[in-house]
Amino acid sequence: MFVETSHLPPKLGNIVHSDPNISTTNINHDDADNNYNARHSSFSAYEANRLSGEGSPMMMSPWNQGSPFSKSPWSKFDDQDGNSQNIPQNGLIGSLIREEGHIYSLATKNDLLYTGSDSKNIRVWKNLKEFAAFKSNSGLVKAIIISGEKIFTGHQDGKVRVWKIQAKNPGTYKRAGTLPSFFDIFKASIKPSNYVEVKRNRTGLWIKHVDAISCLSMDQTHGLLYSASWDRTFKVWNVDNSKCIESVKAHDDAVNSVVTSVEGIVYTGSADGTVKVWQRENSGKNTKHVFVQTLLNQECAVTALAVNRTGSIVYCGSSDGVVNFWEREKQLSHGGVLKGHKLAILCLAAAGNLVLSGSADKTICVWRREKSVHTLLSVLTGHNGPVKCLAVEEDKESTGSDQKWVVYSGSLDKSVKVWSVSEKAPMMMQNNMHGDNVTWDSVPSAKY
């Protein structure tokens, strides 16, 4: 069950996408995690007609798309005797399995779970049962984020779609628009100054993404939505009027992650191996993001970022299976590395004093932070494919003395698993390769 940390893969060349099943050649999805480390950057080939593992003719076929209104054959299971009190402190609550597609995105709010996959359907779940569904014009839902009564979804076609919950019927969702809107595109296309270079000898409107959206992040306080894309930019949107207010050419390769933090700080991670820090500056009605510093510059791709609630720690996952972290209270000095995976990190989530990392090795590592020391509490196993996305919400049974979280994990095995995780869970002890007992209360935070 435990993932040995002494056999990490060597550093890789730049890998464009954070998705382990993306390639310019056809690859069996079941072998996605095994093939991940052999892939190289294909960003220069990002044309509109590009095919990828997740956009293959088989996956895009209309015969492979189910209706969002037909019940999905997801299954739920409890412990054998039906007593939920027997669930271990860090363990599996239930498993949701369907054949609709690989799970690429998750979001949770107010006991509702939203799931996005490589079908066109976004499904809504309540108490592990299907509650609602809505269908987009484009599949491959790469990111989901919730703000008030609006749901934003980022797609492979480079568009952000906006959905609203109907007040009279909470189980009904209607599309409220697309970012950018058709009118904004038409209006911007009239002015030649709105065209920028998006590739050698190719121009496009600055308000439009010209490649897949990889990540969304929200600054709830200021009503700003951030979208990161494989087109090497991140864009900033005003949620109130759905306008693109800024586009930042952030990296030399695909931007795999963007996260907002306190005091207008924004972090971006890219397939070019860098993590960059940006500061939001407001000048009258104008918003501008200014480059501050580069936290990391390495050979292997940065695949995921996460910031804890207070903004004091920023975490970075990479294709070499390592999680780096920096401490804001120490001028963003490097705090250490967490080594618990054999293959690429694909997603990160921070909750309370915990940080969780999902990997192409099919496992989820749960780390507990105490000051600058991170302890590996658990390695959650059970997925049969790479763990692509994570979402966390507070457990209703949580108390001040025992902080508990419900963790949702989406995988390329087409399933979502639900876990109960406690910050008070005992630290795991495993046998190392020599048969000796070893505890993991100090290893992860070792400096370079």
Nearest-angstrom CA–CA distance, 239 and 347: 25
Is residue 198 assigned to a domain? yes
**pLDDT, tens only, 201-237:** 788 999 999 999 999 999 999 999 999 999 999 999 9
Instruction: Identify the pLDDT of residue 68.
Output: 44
Q: What's the pLDDT band for 347 if we cut at 50, 70, 90?
A: very high
Is residue 35 assigned to a domain? no
Nearest-angstrom CA–CA distance, 72 and 138: 19
CA dihedral of 32, 37, 42, 48, whole degrees rounded to 10: 20
How many Cβ atoms sit within 10 Å of the Cβ of residue 197?
A: 10
Is residue 84 predicted with pLDDT exceeding 70?
Answer: no
Instruction: Identify the pLDDT of residue 283.
Output: 79
Q: Number of folded domains in the chain?
A: 1
Contacts of the segment 63-72: beta carbons below 8 A, 24+ positions apart: 64/101, 64/119, 65/119, 65/120, 65/121, 65/139, 66/100, 66/119, 66/121, 67/121, 67/135, 68/120, 68/121, 68/122, 68/123, 68/133, 68/134, 68/135, 69/133, 71/130, 72/98, 72/100, 72/123, 72/130
Mean pLDDT value of segment 327-343:
95
**pLDDT, tens only, 249-305:** 999 999 999 999 999 999 999 999 999 999 999 877 788 999 999 999 999 999 999
Exposure of 135 by Cβ count < 10 A (0-12 exposed, 13-18 middle, 19+ buried)?
Answer: middle
Is residue 211 assigned to a domain? yes
For 60-69, 87-96, 205-214, 359-368, which range has the lowest pLDDT when averaged over its residues?
Answer: 60-69
DSSP string, 93-161: EEEEE-SS--EEEEEEETTEEEEEESSSEEEEEETTEEEEEEE-SS--EEEEEEETTEEEEEETTS-EE
Is residue 47 assigned to a domain? no
**pLDDT, tens only, 11-21:** 333 333 445 44
Q: What's the pLDDT band for 420 if we cut at 50, 70, 90?
A: very high
Sign of the four-CA dihedral 179, 185, 186, 188: positive
Instruction: Identify the pLDDT of residue 249.
Output: 95
Instruction: Identify the pLDDT of residue 58.
Output: 32
Instruction: Identify the pLDDT of residue 444.
Output: 36
Q: What's the pLDDT band for 428 if we cut at 50, 70, 90?
A: low
Mean pLDDT value of segment 187-197:
93
* Beta-sheet strands, E only, within 271-363: 274-283, 286-297, 302-307, 313-318, 322-327, 333-339, 345-351, 354-359
Q: What percent of the chain has pLDDT over 70?
A: 75
Is residue 16 assigned to a domain? no
Q: What's the pLDDT band for 72 if we cut at 50, 70, 90?
A: very low
Is residue 189 predicted with pLDDT exceeding 60?
Answer: yes
Instruction: Identify the pLDDT of residue 140.
Output: 87
Mean pLDDT value of segment 390-403:
86
Is residue 427 assigned to a domain? no
Q: What's the pLDDT band for 137 if we cut at 50, 70, 90?
A: confident
The CATH number covering residue 406 comes to 2.130.10.10
Q: What's the pLDDT band for 372 if we cut at 50, 70, 90?
A: confident
Mean pLDDT value of segment 375-393:
96
Instruction: Identify the pLDDT of residue 169.
Output: 83
Q: How confident is the prediction for the chain on average, in pLDDT?
A: 80
Provide the domain limits for residue 151: 90-422
Q: What are phi and psi of 62, to 5 degrees?
A: -60, -20
Is residue 341 assigned to a domain? yes
Instruction: Evaluate if pTM is beyond 0.85.
Output: no
Residue 281: both structure tokens together: 């500056």
Is residue 25 assigned to a domain? no
